[in-house]
Amino acid sequence: MELIQKIESREAHLAVIGLGYVGLPLAIAYAKAGFRVTGIEKSADKVAALEQGKCYVIDVPAADVRSMQAAGRFQATTDPAVLASADSVNICVPTPLSKTRDPDISFIQDAVSVIESHLHRPMLVILESTTYPGTTEEVILPRLSAGGLRVGEDFFLAFSPERVDPGNPRYHTTNIPKVVGGVTPACTRIAGALYGQVMESVVPVSSVRVAETVKLLENTFRSVNIGLVNEIALVCKSLDIDVWEVIEGAATKPFGFMPFYPGPGLGGHCIPIDPFYLSWKAKLAGAEARFIELAGQINSSMPKHVVQLVSEALNGRARAVRGSRILVIGVAYKAGIDDIRESPALDIIELLAQRGAEVSWYDPHVAALPAALAAARLDVWSRDELAGFDAAVIVTAHRSVDHTLLLDAGPVVVDTRNALKGHAAANVTRL
């Protein structure tokens, strides 16, 4: 087949729509494998940064961007007209939830609109954005077929869930197994052939619906288990039991147990959002996703619990939250990265401010927070600076931060990540 021959010879021109945490690493991986790649991005600022050899994604070295540009294998643009010459296009755009927790696939719809205008035979279209089962066949396929081109013959359509874990030094785009499901067997075969040029392992599945649900199961698994351990943490607190020691003991079992850890709430684009794509689709089919809904309720309640712990810790010093200087430490949603999407720290800051606290924040990876949040950035991490606060909350435990400075600096400390494990101090409250 002509398209497979172009892919295997690296003559295919590849396009990626959306140059964020998923799309840019994929585009650079394609380019490093020898393909000519064009990244299509709506943000002119991001395109300008890439053209200057700068990179805003933590997992992509700026040197890789510059070298692929110099080799003529990668360019970024805001103009989707380049799709007219592309042999393949990956859709890597955000899929948030609406205010009513319904799936918002408007970014996918926008991407499909530009592909429609430039669809040609033979062309491969792959959706990587996380979505509900049925999106590829029910939303994308009818639009791409409307002009008379036949799927599996004139063009090829598949779904392959992104599995990006920002900041993970061990697993990256090319060594994470790549699940692929096509609308037809030919679609699966051609999409698998493309990924096979770049990925160490390709896992074909029987349909796009299976591939779509794989991603949702992965993140629902994490959400439900984090919800469970958060509930255990609340139970252990009421029983005056150290939940961290309980988990450590349970983790010694060599089978039948996988340790998850409590925390201040869920963050990032995937785990707080993806399970609700599945529960929404289940409701449409007349099924109940009770575990998903319950886990969501528990996890979303954790910021309020953290604020309550801060209040109790301050009460122990005869102080109220109102009027106290409180430092939130770590505002990225996970350690080692600069991404604040859905970070529980933002909710904690807002809740503390609503109670009248004077809130500041510190994070060596994050330059700024949304202007709507009433919080000041602490620029210097030192014992003297920390001594000026009444309370401190460790929300994200970056490894580069010496949290032990809090032990004798003065403020009461609420440690939601067990960052001060092994340090017994009267001023520390652990989740």
Residue of 55, 187, 236, 270 marked active site: 270
> What is the rounded CA–CA span in Å between residue 327 and residue 387?
11
Per-residue model confidence (pLDDT) at position 409? 83
pLDDT at 416 over 90: yes
Q: Categorize the per-residue pLDDT at 269 as very low, low, confident or very high, splitting at 50, 70 and 90.
A: confident
Residues 6+ apart with CB under 8 A from 359: 326, 327, 328, 349, 352, 353, 374, 375, 376
Per-residue model confidence (pLDDT) at position 102? 84
User: pLDDT per residue over 224-237, tens digit each?
Assistant: 999 999 999 999 99
Per-residue model confidence (pLDDT) at position 126? 98
| Cα dihedral 155, 156, 157, 162 sign | negative
Strand pairing of 391-394 and 325-329? parallel
Which tokens sit at 222?
A: 């994490």
pLDDT at 153 over 80: yes
User: pLDDT per residue over 288-326, tens digit each?
Assistant: 999 999 999 999 999 999 999 999 999 999 999 999 999
Catalytic site includes residue 55: no
pLDDT at 330 over 90: yes
User: pLDDT per residue over 85-102, tens digit each?
Assistant: 999 999 999 999 887 778
Q: Categorize the per-residue pLDDT at 106 as very low, low, confident or very high, splitting at 50, 70 and 90.
A: very high
Per-residue model confidence (pLDDT) at position 167? 87
User: pLDDT per residue over 370-415, tens digit each?
Assistant: 999 989 999 999 999 999 999 999 999 999 999 999 998 889 999 9
pLDDT at 429 over 80: yes
Strand pairing of 428-430 and 123-127? unpaired
Say how far residue 127 (Cα) sits from the centre of its chain.
Answer: 17
The one-letter amino acid code at 58 reads: I
Say how far residue 271 (Cα) sits from the centre of its chain.
Answer: 7
Exposed, middle or buried, 237 (CB in 10 Å: 0-12/13-18/19+)?
Answer: middle
Task: List, in order of start, the domains of the chain with CATH numbers.
Answer: 2-206 (3.40.50.720), 248-430 (3.40.50.720)
Q: Categorize the per-residue pLDDT at 334 as very low, low, confident or very high, splitting at 50, 70 and 90.
A: very high
Residue whose entry in the numeric block shows the structure tokens 């009461």:
412
